[in-house]
């Protein structure tokens, strides 16, 4: 326990003042720090009251006047000396009894008289008293050094004087007040050596101890202090300062208190508790040594030197570890740190106390722990556990604490220690509960669960039994969550077991049904489906169960039945559950509806496995009637369509697939549904619809290139067959845009595009001709199409050239026609170059006509206006010169056609060239016999 300091500053006890005849000394208030001790005021002396040798008349002033007259009248040296002494004494007496403004003057007159006496009568036997009074007078006017010197003369010159002992003591006091401690120590020691011969022994002993302290001779001071305390303290082994002082007589109490204070000052200056141990080890221990440590601790506490105080108390324990007072001193250590606010040190010392003075600790040996220690143990255990518990709780709100979990676990350790030492305490169930809370907060969930279980079931029923039982369940569940992604089965079984124990043990607890419901859920989670159904049914069979719990229990039962493949029972449970969910139940309602649909779907699968496809189709389609928004519905309807196709019910399959396509255009099965729909349309004689389906497939980016190419081709063919030329063109165009396509199909598609656009879309027709003309296919069909396309393009260019009439200015119109002629020639030359009998003669004929038409146009071109007759003739001749080469080219090309006759070629185009030559070169080809001969020659 905390002791109040006995060290207060006080004057020297009254007994010493009386013994000194007015001399005395008390120390001023102790400084606050060690450094201040150097400046500490020593106990101050007081004036000595001296009895006069003769009575003084009642009127001092009149007496003085008489003595002055006597000095003037008397010639007797002895009489004059006595008059001077009496005058001096009277002056001092007046200063003592009635000080006024003349006091200093009177005392100085007295000093002059005393000195005059000593000068005039140096060997007078009464000079010891004169010196004594002179010293007193000098002290009164502040001439302390002179007073000290005068007292020295008294001691040295009058060693046997009755004033010698008093003079020594007075000189010691003056030296002490002047801080001349070494000299003061000699004088005090001299007085002390007189022992019983002087009334100043005790006060000198006290002041001697102070002097030694001021000289820094702390061990010597302690020797004197111990001597004083041994004399003044009550018998026995006192150890508690306040109680000890209470037993000291009142007259000596202040002395003892101040001496104890001086012992603490000395030990503090020497180093505190460690120094105390060294002092005790270097000498025979005083009987009151515990009191010295206790006083030192209280002294340091009073000066707020908390750690030094704790060290002082701890020093006693270190030296006297088996002493019966050791536990009490350890309490003082704890209280010192508590007073200073050193929480960590306080806690450590409380822990030391518990470990050292535990009833099972070595300290006790074969003895039982004392009741006081046991009570303190419990207080400290409560203090430590509460402190760490509170600090951990605070740390969860304050990020500055670094390790809240460690604090929780530390608190738990102290709760456990409490239970170990006090297992039968009345509050053991509560301590167990608190330990469980801290273990839980510290992350030790399994240990926490076990502790909650113990609080709930290992003690007679108490106020928090039910709460502990429920907390045990929750802790076991938290332990499950802490496992993470590992195997939770065993942990869940343990949690479920605890939950059923709780439900049975606390039937009235408000959390019983929630706990049972969760147990059913967790039984399902660990695949114990039969028991999950059983526990869930217990909840469902209760009355007044909240809707939320009913839904959960019904969910467990439905899901367990589904998992056990009892799909008919599961369907019934899901229907009941769905009826409990409102339209706003969101995801839960969706899940239940999906499970209901899946239960029906599984029934359909079973029928399909059994071979009853019609019945399976009915189950699949029933899903759309009962749960139209179920996730499985698209799959069910798709499967129904597949079964209908297998049954060759093409109309039924198409009908189901059309519904699927309408409702789920983005479904992952939509592509396959389209393919099956196309097949159904084809099988049921609906080519246009089939074509539309294939067109969708061809346009779907997610399909493979091969599938898209095939679908595009089928769509084109079906549209073409159905006579939908516009859709057919679009489908063929789509096919031509496919990333991969077969070359034969591409050639065929180009031919159909050219044919379908001819006469309907000139621009598209020309575009596809150009596409075909530029094709690089290496098949005969592709090259033939390219040649035919070139021929068509050349004929078109030739016609465009023929349509360009030559007009003035002739230069410009001739240039335009020449451009078109070149275009026609390029196409026709390229067409002829392929070498096809069906194309080359036609291209040669067309090119010959291009030149022939150009020559004829030149010959009929109008001349410029304003020409004379001669000029017009010359202009005509000029045009004929231009036309002649063109006509020659035409003739040459026609003849080239005729040269193919010997090779067995003969067709309308060759005949047309022959007819043209009859007109162009009649001299050679105009007469029939000549023609026949020529033909024969050509052959």
Q: Would you state the pLDDT for residue 197?
A: 84
Q: Would you state the pLDDT for residue 869?
A: 76
pLDDT tens digits, one per residue of 301-321: 999 999 999 999 999 999 999
What is the mean predicted confidence (pLDDT) over 28-39? 33
Q: Would you state the pLDDT for residue 596?
A: 93
**pLDDT of 36 higher than 80:** no
**DSSP string for 550-606:** HHHHHHHHHHHHHHTT-HHHHHHHHHHHHHHS-GGGTHHHHHHHHHHHHHHHHHHHH
Q: Would you state the pLDDT for residue 18?
A: 31
**pLDDT of 452 higher than 50:** yes
* 821 and 809 Cβ atoms separated by less than 8 Å: no
Residues comprising the chain, all counted: 939
Measured on CA atoms in the order 248, 251, 255, 261, is the torsion positive or negative? Answer: positive
**pLDDT of 21 higher than 60:** no
pLDDT tens digits, one per residue of 364-423: 998 999 999 999 999 999 999 999 998 888 877 655 555 578 889 999 999 999 999 999
Q: pLDDT category, 56, cuts 50, 70, 90? A: very low
Question: What is the percent of the chain where pLDDT is above 70?
Answer: 90
Q: Would you state the pLDDT for residue 927?
A: 59
**pLDDT of 27 higher than 70:** no
For residues 880 and 856, what is the distance between their CA atoms, to the nearest angstrom? Answer: 9
Q: Would you state the pLDDT for residue 58?
A: 57
pLDDT tens digits, one per residue of 568-607: 999 999 999 988 888 777 888 899 999 999 999 999 999 9
**Model's pTM, two decimal places?**
0.57
Q: Would you state the pLDDT for residue 1?
A: 34
Task: Tell me which of 106-110, 308-312, 785-789, 872-876 is least confident.
Answer: 872-876
pLDDT tens digits, one per residue of 626-637: 999 999 999 999
Question: Which tokens in the block code for residue 531?
Answer: 């028991």
Q: Would you state the pLDDT for residue 69?
A: 67
Please, is 189 exposed, middle or buried when counting C-beta atoms within 10 Å of its C-beta (0-12, 13-18, 19+)?
middle
* 194 and 187 Cβ atoms separated by less than 8 Å: no
CA-angle at 284, arms to 281 and 289, nearest 5°: 80
Q: Would you state the pLDDT for residue 33?
A: 30
Q: Would you state the pLDDT for residue 628?
A: 93
Q: Considering only CA atoms, which of 612, 616, 570, 569 is closest in space to residue 594?
A: 570
For residues 543 and 790, what is the distance between their CA atoms, to the nearest angstrom? Answer: 93
**pLDDT of 474 higher than 90:** yes
What is the mean predicted confidence (pLDDT) over 854-862? 80
What is the mean predicted confidence (pLDDT) over 46-67? 56
What is the mean predicted confidence (pLDDT) over 772-785? 80
Q: Considering only CA atoms, which of 314, 232, 231, 303 is closest in space to residue 269?
A: 303
Q: Would you state the pLDDT for residue 932?
A: 47
**DSSP string for 228-264:** HHHHHSPSS----HHHHHHHS-HHHHHHHHHHHHHHH
* 553 and 520 Cβ atoms separated by less than 8 Å: yes
Q: Across all residues in the chain, what is the average pLDDT?
A: 84
Please, is 652 exposed, middle or buried when counting C-beta atoms within 10 Å of its C-beta (0-12, 13-18, 19+)?
middle
**DSSP string for 345-374:** HHHHHHHHHHHHH-TTSGGGTTSPPPHHHH
**pLDDT of 126 higher than 70:** yes
Q: Would you state the pLDDT for residue 290?
A: 94
DSSP conformational letter for 37:
H
For residues 179 and 556, what is the distance between their CA atoms, to the nearest angstrom? Answer: 97
DSSP conformational letter for 484:
T
Q: pLDDT category, 49, cuts 50, 70, 90? A: very low
**pLDDT of 507 higher than 50:** yes
For residues 832 and 841, what is the distance between their CA atoms, to the nearest angstrom? Answer: 7
Half-sphere exposure of 306 (CA within 13 A, CB side): 13
Dihedrals phi, psi of 44, to nearest 5 degrees: -95, 145
* 676 and 696 Cβ atoms separated by less than 8 Å: no
What is the Cα Rg of the chain in Å?
Answer: 67
Q: pLDDT category, 675, cuts 50, 70, 90? A: confident
Other C-beta atoms closer than 10 Å to the C-beta of 522 total 22
Q: Would you state the pLDDT for residue 74?
A: 62
Question: Which tokens in the block code for residue 860?
Answer: 């009929």
For residues 225 and 276, what is the distance between their CA atoms, to the nearest angstrom? Answer: 14
Please, is 236 exposed, middle or buried when counting C-beta atoms within 10 Å of its C-beta (0-12, 13-18, 19+)?
exposed
In sequence order, the β-bridge partners of residue 26 are: 44
pLDDT tens digits, one per residue of 895-926: 888 988 888 888 898 999 899 998 888 888 87
């Amino acid at each position: 326990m905390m002791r109040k300091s006995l060290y207060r500053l006080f004057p020297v006890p009254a007994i010493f003042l009386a013994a000194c005849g007015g001399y005395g000394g008390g120390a001023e208030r102790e400084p606050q720090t060690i450094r201040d001790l150097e400046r500490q005021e020593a106990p101050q002396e007081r004036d000595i009251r001296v009895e006069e040798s003769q009575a003084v008349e009642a009127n001092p002033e009149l007496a003085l006047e008489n003595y002055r007259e006597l000095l003037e009248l008397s010639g007797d040296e002895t009489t004059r000396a006595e008059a001077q002494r009496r005058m001096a004494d009277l002056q001092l007496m007046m200063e003592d009894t009635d000080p006024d403004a003349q006091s200093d003057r009177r005392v100085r007159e007295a000093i002059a008289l005393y000195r005059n006496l000593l000068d005039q009568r140096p060997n007078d036997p009464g000079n010891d008293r004169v010196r004594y009074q002179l010293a007193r007078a000098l002290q009164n006017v502040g001439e302390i050094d002179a007073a000290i010197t005068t007292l020295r003369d008294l001691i040295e010159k009058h060693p046997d004087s009755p004033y010698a002992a008093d003079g020594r003591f007075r000189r010691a006091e003056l030296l002490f007040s002047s801080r001349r401690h070494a000299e003061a120590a000699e004088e005090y020691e001299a007085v002390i050596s007189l022992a019983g011969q002087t009334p100043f022994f005790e006060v000198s002993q006290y002041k001697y101890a102070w002097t030694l302290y001021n000289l820094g001779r702390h061990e010597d001071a302690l020797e004197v202090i111990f001597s004083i305390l041994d004399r003044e303290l009550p018998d026995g082994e006192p150890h508690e300062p306040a109680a000890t002082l209470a037993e000291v007589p009142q007259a000596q109490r202040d002395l003892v208190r101040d001496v104890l204070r001086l012992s603490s000052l000395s030990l503090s200056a020497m180093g505190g508790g460690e120094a105390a141990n060294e002092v005790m080890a270097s000498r025979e221990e005083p009987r009151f040594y515990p009191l010295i440590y206790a006083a030192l601790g209280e002294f340091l506490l009073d000066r707020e030197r908390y750690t030094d105080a704790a060290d002082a108390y701890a020093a006693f324990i270190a030296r006297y570890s088996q002493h019966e007072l050791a536990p009490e001193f350890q309490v003082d250590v704890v209280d010192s740190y508590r007073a200073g606010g050193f929480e960590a040190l306080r806690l450590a010392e409380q822990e030391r106390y518990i470990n050292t003075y535990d009833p099972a600790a070595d300290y006790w040996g074969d003895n039982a722990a004392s009741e006081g220690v046991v009570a303190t143990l419990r207080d400290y255990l409560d203090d430590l556990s509460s402190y760490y518990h509170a600090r951990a709780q605070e740390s969860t709100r304050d990020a500055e604490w670094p390790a809240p979990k460690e604090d929780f676990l530390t608190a738990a350790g102290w709760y456990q220690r409490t239970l170990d030492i006090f297992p039968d305490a009345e509050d053991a169930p509560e301590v167990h509960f608190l330990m469980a809370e801290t273990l839980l907060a510290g992350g030790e969930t399994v240990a926490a669960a076990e502790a909650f279980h113990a609080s709930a079931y290992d003690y007679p029923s108490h106020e928090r039994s039910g709460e502990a039982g429920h907390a045990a369940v929750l802790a076991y569940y938290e332990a499950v969550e802490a496992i993470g992604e590992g195997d939770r089965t065993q942990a869940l079984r343990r949690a479920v077991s605890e939950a059923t124990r709780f439900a049975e043990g606390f039937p009235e607890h408000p959390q019983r049904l929630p706990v049972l419901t969760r147990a059913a859920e967790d039984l399902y989670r660990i695949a114990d489906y039969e028991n999950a159904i059983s526990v869930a049914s217990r909840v469902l069979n209760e009355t007044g169960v909240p809707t939320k719990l009913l839904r959960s229990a019904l969910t467990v039962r439905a899901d367990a039945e589904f998992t056990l493949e009892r799909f008919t029972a599961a369907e019934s449970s899901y229907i009941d559950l769905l009826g409990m969910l409102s339209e706003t139940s969101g995801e839960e309602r969706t899940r239940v509806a999906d499970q209901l649909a899946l239960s029906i779907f599984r029934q359909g699968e079973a029928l399909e496995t059994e071979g009853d496809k019609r019945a399976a189709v009915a189950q699949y389609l029933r899903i759309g009637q009962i749960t139209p928004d179920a996730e499985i519905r698209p799959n069910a309807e798709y499967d129904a369509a597949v079964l209908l196709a297998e049954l060759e019910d093409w109309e039924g399959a198409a009908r189901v697939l059309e519904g699927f396509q309408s409702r789920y255009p983005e479904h992952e099965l939509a592509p396959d549904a389209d393919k099956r729909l196309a097949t159904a349309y084809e099988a049921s004689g609906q080519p246009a619809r089939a074509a539309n389906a294939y067109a969708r497939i061809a346009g779907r980016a997610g399909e493979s290139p091969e599938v898209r190419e095939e679908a595009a081709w089928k769509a084109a063919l079906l549209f073409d067959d159905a006579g939908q030329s516009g859709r057919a063109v679009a489908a063929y165009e789509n096919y031509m845009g496919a990333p991969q396509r077969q070359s034969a199909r591409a050639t065929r598609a180009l031919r159909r595009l050219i044919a379908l656009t001819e006469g309907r879309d000139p621009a598209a027709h020309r575009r596809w001709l150009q596409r075909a003309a530029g094709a690089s296919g290496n098949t005969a069909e592709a090259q033939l199409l390219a040649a035919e396309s070139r021929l068509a393009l050349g004929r078109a260019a030739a016609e465009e050239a023929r349509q360009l009439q030559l007009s003035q200015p002739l230069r410009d119109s001739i240039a335009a026609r020449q451009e078109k002629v070149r275009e026609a020639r390029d196409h026709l030359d390229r067409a002829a170059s392929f070498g096809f009998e069906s194309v080359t003669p036609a291209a040669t004929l067309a090119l010959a006509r291009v030149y022939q038409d150009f020559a004829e146009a030149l010959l009929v071109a109008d001349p410029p206006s304003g020409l004379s007759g001669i000029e017009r003739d010359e202009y005509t001749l000029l045009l004929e010169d231009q036309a002649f080469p063109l006509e020659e080219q035409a003739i040459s090309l026609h003849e080239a056609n005729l040269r193919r006759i010997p090779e067995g070629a003969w067709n309308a185009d060759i005949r047309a060239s022959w007819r043209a030559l009859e007109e162009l070169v009649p001299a050679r080809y105009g007469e029939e016999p000549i023609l026949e001969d020529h033909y024969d020659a050509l052959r």
